[in-house]
Amino acid sequence: MNTEFSSKAVLEAIRSVVQSDNTSISLHEPKLAGNEWTYVKECLDTGWVSSVGKFVDRFEDDLAAYTGAKRAIAVVNGTAALHICLILSGVVPGDEVLIPALTFIATANAVSYCGAVPHFIDSEEKTLGVDPGKLAAYLEDIAEQRQDGCYNRITGRRIKTLVPMHTFGHPLDIEPLLKICADFRIELVEDAAESFGSFYKGRHTGTFGRLAALSFNGNKIMTTGGGGAILTDDEELGRLAKHLTTTAKIPHRWEFNHDMIGYNYRLPNINAALGCAQLEQLSAFLDNKRALAGRYAQAFSEVPGVRFIREPEYCRSNYWLNAIILDEDFRNMRDEILEVTNSAGIMTRPAWTLMHRLPMFTDCPHMNLTISKSLVRRLVNIPSSAGLV
């Protein structure tokens, strides 16, 4: 292997791990190798393909059992899950919601759906998630306590909720964030869309705040095609989440009465059937993903100027989306690496555009984002499918 840092050395390192007969290698694709056909065929044979059915109930029960949450509510996608979590956390129009600038657009969109204002905060390089120390210092500077909660003394708006996101499946350091939220009277809602199958100090992500959102999009660790879920240990919030996501219809054999503004966020039974089959294989998916990550770590240990991102020491990551990070001296090589790898049929991508740089969010408040800006310049995602092992 070429031990000089260059885009070719990065390409060779990836190729040494993902040897394949395919002419192109995707960034992440699902592996459908279990009971998917059987369960979906049952839905087709019985006609139970829509918004209710035994697989919806089973999927919710299986998710709760796996994560350790008391309730899991299956919904149509992760954005819908996060939207409902924010509503149930008490976010109302005009509030501010703290979210990382380094996140997928869905996090900011869900805040906007509530009529609230995203307030962007910085991440740390170790976890790629919210930096607790920097956030605490920032809130000490800009926050003030009033009778009905924490307020931004600069904008005058209430800071209602913090939404930390477990980036690429790596659990962030959530314990200090819980303390910060308690100290400043801010709700915590976990964006665990990317971290199904990841554990922080032995506990599944998405079970630390009162509410959390999961995603089962086609590119996630396991998929329902499109889909997501809400996790909570609060039985009343779980009941209300189910009610809101099923159009707030009052149960009755034939009457159509609704007692709240609800949302048609129901996960169809046919999608839940996929989820049940995928969840049966999750352990194998995770084993494959960890094996793939180990091979990448070894391959990139021989390439100077680049580091493969590993799980934090207190965590067990699902390694959903593998990533490398370039040393600062080589940050200008990122786009060349993207060009060389994609031209060779190996799909790679940069991190998301930072949220405060998107046109609809340029006027939103944000703290100093030094680390997020640095990470975006240097980070490259590489092929991560469980089927590559």
Task: Say which residues have a Cβ less than 8 Å from residue 278's Cβ, sequence separation at least 6.
Answer: 30, 32, 34, 36, 216, 222, 223, 224, 285
Residue 24, pLDDT above cutoff 80 = yes
Q: Which pLDDT band holds residue 181 (cuts at 50, 70, 90)?
A: very high
Q: Tens digit of pLDDT for each residue in 39-87?
A: 999 999 999 999 889 999 999 999 999 999 999 999 999 999 999 999 9
Q: Tell me how far apart the terminal alpha carbons of the chain are, to the nearest angstrom.
A: 20
User: CB–CB of 217/191 below 8 Å?
Assistant: no
> What CA–CA distance (Å, rounded) separates 351 from 333?
14
Residue 308: strand pairing partners: 324
pLDDT at 340: 97
> What CA–CA distance (Å, rounded) separates 116 from 83?
11
- Residue 169 DSSP SS3: helix
pLDDT at 4: 64
- Average pLDDT taken over every residue of the chain: 96
Overall fold of domain 36-280: Aspartate Aminotransferase; domain 2 (3.40.640)
DSSP annotation of 220 reads: S
pLDDT at 20: 72
Question: 14-23, 209-218, 319-328, 354-363: which range is least confident on average?
Answer: 14-23
pLDDT at 1: 43
For the domain spanning 7-31+282-388, the CATH number is 3.90.1150.10
Residue 2, pLDDT above cutoff 50 = no
Percent residues over pLDDT 90 in the chain: 96
pLDDT at 51: 86
Task: Say which residues have a Cβ less than 8 Å from residue 386's Cβ, sequence separation at least 6.
Answer: 31, 221, 284, 285, 288, 289, 292
Predicted TM-score (pTM) of the model is 0.96
User: CB–CB of 382/300 below 8 Å?
Assistant: no
> What CA–CA distance (Å, rounded) separates 234 from 115?
25
Q: Which amino acid is at 238?
A: G
| Residue 353 CB-half CA count within 13 A | 9
Percent residues over pLDDT 70 in the chain: 99
Residue range 114-124: mean pLDDT, rounded: 98
Instruction: Residue 174: name the closest of 200, 196, 212 by CA.
Output: 200
Residue range 312-329: mean pLDDT, rounded: 96
Task: Give the position of tokens 């707030």.
Answer: 248
User: Any idea how long the chain is?
Assistant: 389
Residue 3, pLDDT above cutoff 70 = no
Tokens describing residue 93: 């129009």
Q: Tens digit of pLDDT for each residue in 231-254?
A: 999 999 999 999 999 999 999 999
> What CA–CA distance (Å, rounded) separates 88 from 102?
24
Task: Give the position of tokens 């059992």.
Answer: 65
Domain map of the chain by residue range?
A: 7-31+282-388, 36-280
Residue 22, pLDDT above cutoff 80 = no
